[in-house]
Amino acid sequence: MSDGKLALHDRGLYRFWYRDVIRFGDLDRQGHVNNARFATYCEGGRVAMLDEQIRPLLGADDSFVLASITINFRREMHYPGEVEIGTRILRLGTSSLTFGQGLFSKDHCTATAEATVVLLDPATRRPKPFPEEVRADLWRLAAD
């Protein structure tokens, strides 16, 4: 877990994978997948990793809010086809978590992305630091 130096377009970086189907309805007038659908594919991987690996570490009332996303487009995506989304923890802040992602279709990395989410205190809806033991678990996930 270093600082954005990781080559997000490298499949070897990811152990958590999510797979989606490219829909005819994802295409835009230019005949390729619309840019906003890349954000949807990223969301698919991120939500799956949160649900399966991260939320179980937290209280039932804890929630996350999305603070920022960046997508770097590398190639067009086409229909029909699938997209594989690799997701990993890239950085861990006091109350925030940054995911690194790679989208892959037909053997190419079509985009890389970063997304930062912030843990919210359920009562105040303000940022809340990750508890120490959770932090240790997240580091372990991140080091994977």
| Contact set with a second copy (CB under 8 A) | 19-21, 23-25, 27-29, 31, 34-37, 39-40, 43-44, 47-48, 51, 65-73, 79-80
In terms of CB distance, is 6 or 135 closer to a second copy? 6
The least distance separating a second copy from the CB of residue 8, rounded to whole angstroms, comes to 13
**Size of the chain in residues:** 144
C-beta of 12 vs 31, nearer to a second copy: 31
Contacts of residue 96, defined as CB under 8 A and 6 or more positions apart, other chains included, come to 67, 116, 117, 118, 119, 127
Q: Pick left, alpha or beta for residue 11 (phi over 0 → left; psi -120 to 50 → alpha; otherwise beta).
A: alpha
**CB nearer to a second copy: pick between 55 and 135:** 55
Cβ at position 139, least distance to a second copy in Å:
26
Closest by CA to 68, choosing from 24, 116, 103, 14, is 116
Question: Cβ closer to a second copy: 40 or 95?
Answer: 40
- Give me the least distance between CB of 15 and a second copy, in Å please: 19
Q: Tally the C-alpha atoms within 13 A of residue 121's C-alpha that lie toward its C-beta.
A: 7
142, amino acid identity: A
Q: State the nearest-atom distance from the C-beta of 132 to a second copy, in Å.
A: 27
